[in-house]
Structure 1
């Protein structure tokens, strides 16, 4: 048995309105169309739904059961129609966020997870790039906001609001560093793309430098003793590398660096609803 939905709607509306004529007016159809729809439904079911013998139409006992079962289904159908119509007249909210890998810590990830739960209807795109690329993306309106180092070398202008600081440390495999013949001055430098905005290597330019765009690869190479790396402290802590990697002494001219993770957004624009939410959550996450 396969019930016709339009016939079920006609029956339910007649039961609510109390007559075929009132149902026809409500649904914008002729009275004969409504009467025929209900007769067809009764033929599909094999029993009468309405008692037509009296002055006023009444539901039969089986009709009352069908009415009761159909009511929540039809209400959901009405909700679906209303939602589908509203979506046809509105665009799905979308935001694009750029995040510099060097500041992308666990608290930022937690805020993004919370955002997905708070605003499930919003599409969010996250791009992980160095800050100098994110600054260019903001200028070209590729992204809406960025979270990164605001003091990178750039000719672009944008709004800046500092959020939290990130400590970057020069580290090496602890076993190699403890070795008396470990050549710190001649070791390969493992650096994240965009490092020129963080450190000045003019005094140690004779080093062999590898530039990568993935902190995980840099970390793995450093752990394997293939070079010394400038890593944000949250990477070392999150991967429990404190027992494997050790900070390189500052007398090697490899000084650590503290940078400020900031929210960046286009000049002469205000925060949107979702941007403000992310901003406030990040502030709370790093001050709480």
Structure 2
């Protein structure tokens, strides 16, 4: 089975938005493109992911199950991309942040969390 990142992203976005049109806006694609991408994924998997009801969609039982795996796969692919990017820049392993004591602790905590999310292999001190 050869499904693409684009197909999984379209599936997860349609699932979250419950609409091909809203998913298309979110992904900056045309509605018919998103519909075709999801239909192609359904054909490849031989599984119906959504029940189409007018302009809205509801996930099937199979769609509900596969959504969680698709979401995890997307998150892992994004982490892979971030780690690969970090390595391509010389494998940035450590970063030290100097800051003024007037900066709120909460802001520093948020920055550290975002750096850890964006660069999981990097140690922030």
Partner of 2:77: 77
Shift of 1:25: 2.1
Aligned pair count? 97
TM-score, normalised to structure 2, is 0.63
Alignment check: 8 A CA contact 2:7 2:38 kept: yes
Shift of 1:28: 2.1
Q: Which runs of 5+ in 1 are unaligned?
A: 95-119, 122-272, 274-288
Please say if 1:23 is aligned against 2:23.
Answer: yes
TM-score, normalised to structure 1, is 0.30
Partner of 1:2: 2
> In terms of Rg, which structure is larger?
1
Shift of 1:93: 5.4
Please say if 1:92 is aligned against 2:81.
Answer: no
Shift of 1:4: 3.1
Select between 20-29 and 58-67 the one with higher mean Cα deviation. 20-29
Partner of 1:222: none
Shift of 1:55: 4.7
Query: Which structure dedicates a bigger proportion of its chain to helix?
Result: 2
Query: Which structure dedicates a bigger proportion of its chain to strand?
Result: 1
How large is the Cα RMSD of the aligned pairs? Answer: 2.8
Following the alignment from structure 1 to structure 2, what is the Cα–Cα distance between the partners of residues 79 and 18?
26
Shift of 1:42: 0.9
Partner of 1:13: 13
Q: How does 1:166-181 map to 2 (within 5 A)?
A: none
Partner of 1:34: 34
Partner of 1:43: 43
Following the alignment from structure 1 to structure 2, what is the Cα–Cα distance between the partners of residues 41 and 67?
13
Per-residue Cα deviation, 1:36-89 (whole angstroms, up to 9, x for no partner): 10010111122211111245211011111111222211111122233334455x
Q: How does 1:179-198 map to 2 (within 5 A)?
A: none
Specify the SS of the correspondent of 1:24: helix
Distance 1:85 1:20, change over 3 A: farther
Q: Which runs of 5+ in 2 are unaligned?
A: 94-120
Distance 1:60 1:37, change over 3 A: same
Specify the SS of the correspondent of 1:33: helix
